[in-house]
Structure 1
Amino acid sequence: MEQGHVVAHVARDAEALVNLLTWARTGVTTPMYASGDQRAREIEDGARQPVGALRTDLLAADGRLAEEFPTCRMSAGQRPCGRHGAARCPPLRCPGCGCARYGSTPST
């Protein structure tokens, strides 16, 4: 897997977790992805972006997720969303964050 694919995957994963946290907070069904095909297409499209655009995309998606975590923890607690409860979202993000933290992001 190329670095661009890893970065695009981590960014889409952040957005998917925002969807789960939104579901938990509001009770409105918001799946991680509309479909597996959509997920794959968005990762492929993202992987083709220039390095600067990939970095901007990742930081924006991660920022949205960082904003959603505290809101959901305070208001939703353990309310289930999809297969995962809101409390499971931070541990789900850890593998993705570790991937970005340990050298998988492209150099600028």
Structure 2
Amino acid sequence: MGSICFGQETKTEEKEKPLVEFEADSVTLDSDLKLNTYSGNVNLKTDLLTIKNAERIIYDNITKQIIATGYEEFSIDGEIQFSGKGKMKRLRYTLGESIAYLE
């Protein structure tokens, strides 16, 4: 009794880097910790998340995590929207994921 196996080589496409754009009054770069701190009227846009007029956003270049505080408005995938100052003080999001956490 024998067996036959078939296989096909497939090429894996390189995953594109997620789009992330920042706009702020000032930026502080910490090359040791690989953190970028954006302060003052911070706007952020990714493929999924848009944040407007945050007081501060910290971006971790290693984990790709974004932490926003003092935001006035955000939307996720253009569907879920929030505006105004709420009880949630912090928004946490990792590039490439489909979930943002409000804390």
Greater helix share, structure number: 1
State whether TM-score is above 0.5: no
Greater strand share, structure number: 2
Q: Aligning the two structures, in what range does the TM-score lie when normalised by the shorter sequence?
A: under 0.3
**Larger RCO (CA within 8 A; separation ≥ 6):** 1
TM-score normalized by structure 2?
A: 0.24
TM-score normalized by structure 1?
A: 0.24
